[in-house]
Amino acid sequence: MTATALSIRNRLPTSFVNYQLDNAYDEMFSSPGTPRDHYRTLQQTLLGLPPEELRRSQQAADLAFLHEGITFTVYGSKEGTERIFPNDLLPRIIPAREWAKIEKGLTQRLTALNLFLRDIYHEGRILSDRVIPRELIYSCKHFRREMRGLNVPRDIYVNICGTDLVRLPDGNFAVLEDNLRVPSGVSYMLANRKVLKRVFPTLFRDYGVWPVDHYPRVLLATLKSLAPENCPYRHDPTTVLLTPGVSNSAYFEHTFLAQQMGIELVEGRDLLVHDNVVYMRTTSGLRRVDVIYRRVDDDFLDPICFRPNSILGVPGLFNAYRAGNVALANAIGTGVADDKAVYAYVPEIIRYYLNEDPILQNVPTFLMSDVTHRQHALENMDKMVIKAVGESGGYGMLIGPHSTHYQREEFRTRVLADPRNYIAQPTLALSSAPCLTDGEIESRHIDLRPYILMGEKVTLVPGGLTRVALRKGSLVVNSSQGGGSKDTWVLREGEVGSELLDEVREQLGALATEIGPKRIVREKAS
């Protein structure tokens, strides 16, 4: 340890005393007491703040969340089902260079996944070429044979996606899960930002953070770009957000997005289908609906076509969709591409359609349907995470190192009964970041969920939801399992003096001579 590092360590106030580093990658410290460059300003600010003030700010933020009703609903518990989503005040900071890689990697991945979805619902080239086993796709719970041969607007199946990334001990980001059905959490990203700007205004400005507030606008543009060709007002289609209703865990988000976009928030009972056209019931009669941002799962969308006992959906909706009279975002049947067993093939999918190497890596995955994989996984259950392929939200999984013998045996029986339905992954050391717990700063494990929008063009809002496993040592970040979140700051520039900044300057210079010489030259002269 260098002398400077030591002296910094000695200067740490009580609040950093309990900050422990383990084998995981730490977002803030490269070694004990030495913060990474892009965290240095934050650390200085924190050192200058009395712990009491931090605690007060945290309380004020919690209260703001409670009053604004920024809550989510926990299933399966009777009491206090409406909870605030805990917010951690300390921002997670991502330098521009790292973000650029994430952006490129996710765009690549999503492009390939969309091509994949189009392919398997049409010619099925990837299956004929035996890159992916046919039975893997057809046995997928979320494969919708109803979608065969059906064309979706712009050939884009996944319009809204929230991919879960984790940072591995070597510092590289890897994709943990593609959420291609109805990803949620984006409202917390926006709410966290609002609170953080209030708490750390100067810090925020000094850092030069990319804004995220334009997300609803971009989402609306993406949705509108999907309007069916035959819709009477193609330049201004009637767009609605379909929610399962007030008892859904993400209901707050549905209302929030609808309000921010200025579109109607509808429930299944507000809609009806006549002659393959969707209408909503308004006080002035029936009005045609052109684009539906649906936050209802495939299964519940249309009781005639899918689950017959669903009361959340709209009878006849699928036929209207098939007739091309209404657009749905995301398309039906995208779940086949985020099946956790198909996930293992995504690097192959990228190579197959784009002829490129994947920019973001996958986490090693063992398919339980494969005999050797299964054997390996079952022998090492205490070191593995076992997941059901079609589940999400932290439900239906076993975390080996934190499991009891009984739980492992139970999972073993389940896996053996239906191997196709399970995969195993090594337990990952998610990266850790500083979090505020009762006025002290401790390290907690985190992940990252950026949001990608694909319509006329691909947009990533710089940032995303950083989810935090609030329990010490825990690796589960899901809100339903005691997770929280923190604001994610993507910096406009790299660390001062870095190569990247020079690179950016160089590019800007080139740009200046190319497109705007006069203006920039004049500025230089003055």
Partner 1 sequence: MSTRPPRNFFVEAFRRDAGMLSRVADSLYWMGRYLERAEHTARLVNVELQLWLDQSPEMGAGRWRFLLEALSAPVSDGPVDPTKLVNTLVFSRTNASSIVSCIASARENLRHVREQCSTHMWEQLNRVYLGVIEVKPQEEWFLKSHDFFSVVTEGAYLFHGVTDATMSHGEGWQFIQLGRYVERADTLTTLLETHFKRMTSDVERPVEGVEYLEWVGLLRDCVAFEAYCKKHTAEIRPMRVAEFLILNPEFPHSIRFSVDRVNAALHLVSDHTQRAAKLPTRIAGRLRAEISYSQIEEVFAQGVHAYLQKIRSDCTEIHDAINEIYFDYPIEAEIAS
Q: Identify which of 328, 305, 331, 324 has the alpha carbon closest to the alpha carbon of residue 316.
A: 305
Q: What residues does 329 pair with on adjacent strands?
A: 293
Asked whether 18 and 444 are in contact (CB, 8 A), the reply is no
Q: How far is the CB of 272 from partner 1 (least distance, A)?
A: 6
Contact flag: residue 256 with partner 1 (CB under 8 A): yes
Shortest approach of partner 1 to residue 486 CB, angstroms? 22
Among residues 11, 217, 269, 383, which is the contact residue for partner 1, using CB under 8 A? 269
Q: Binding string to partner 1 for residues 34 to 73, with x set by CB under 8 A, is what? A: --------------------------------xxxx----
Q: Which residues pair with 434 in a beta bridge?
A: 443
Helix and strand numbers (H, E) in the chain are: 18, 26
Distance CA 176, CA 397 (A): 14
* Cα 423 to Cα 430: distance, rounded to the nearest angstrom: 19
The one among 78, 130, 235, 522 contacting partner 1 by CB under 8 A: 235
Instruction: Give Cβ neighbours of residue 230 (< 8 Å, ≥ 6 apart).
Output: 324, 325
Q: What is the Cα–Cα distance from 193 to 199, expressed in whole angstroms?
A: 10
Stretch that binds partner 1, among 253-261, 308-316, 460-468, 471-479 (CB under 8 A): 253-261
> If binding is defined by CB under 8 A, does position 264 make contact with partner 1?
yes
Query: Is beta strand 87-94 parallel, antiparallel or unpaired with respect to 440-445?
Result: unpaired
- Beta-carbon contacts of residue 427 (< 8 Å; ≥ 6 apart): 383, 384, 385, 399, 400, 401, 475
Q: Using the rule CB under 8 A, is 151 a contact of partner 1?
A: no
Compare residues 319 and 380 and give the one whose CB is closer to partner 1.
Answer: 319
For residue 471, the tally of other CB atoms under 10 A from its CB is: 14
Select 256 or 318, whichever has its Cβ closest to partner 1: 256
**Could you say which residues in the range 445-474 bind partner 1, by CB under 8 A?**
none
Q: d(Cα 468, Cα 432) in Å, to the nearest integer?
A: 9
Minimum CB–partner distance for residue 407 and partner 1 (Å): 37
- Applying CB under 8 A, the span of 283-291, 383-391, 429-437, 439-447 interacting with partner 1 comes to 283-291
Q: Is 264 helix (H, G, I), strand (E, B) or coil?
A: strand
Binding of residue 280 to partner 1 (CB under 8 A): yes
Least distance from partner 1 to the Cβ atom of residue 233, Å = 7
274 touches partner 1 by CB under 8 A: yes
267 touching partner 1, by CB under 8 A:
yes
Cα 292-478-252 angle, rounded to 5 deg = 40
Query: How far is Cα 323 from Cα 320, in angstroms, rounded to an integer?
Result: 5
Under rule CB under 8 A, residue 284 binds partner 1: yes
| Nearest approach, Cβ of residue 183 and partner 1 (Å) | 20
Assess 230 for contact with partner 1 (CB under 8 A): yes
Give the binding range for partner 1 (CB under 8 A) out of 197-205, 274-282, 324-332, 427-435: 274-282
C-alpha to C-alpha distance for 51 and 504, rounded to whole angstroms: 38
Q: Which of 259, 375, 507, 513 binds partner 1 (CB under 8 A)?
A: 259
Residues contributing to the site for partner 1 (CB under 8 A): 66-69, 229-230, 232-235, 238, 246, 252, 254-256, 258-259, 264-267, 269-270, 272, 274, 280-287
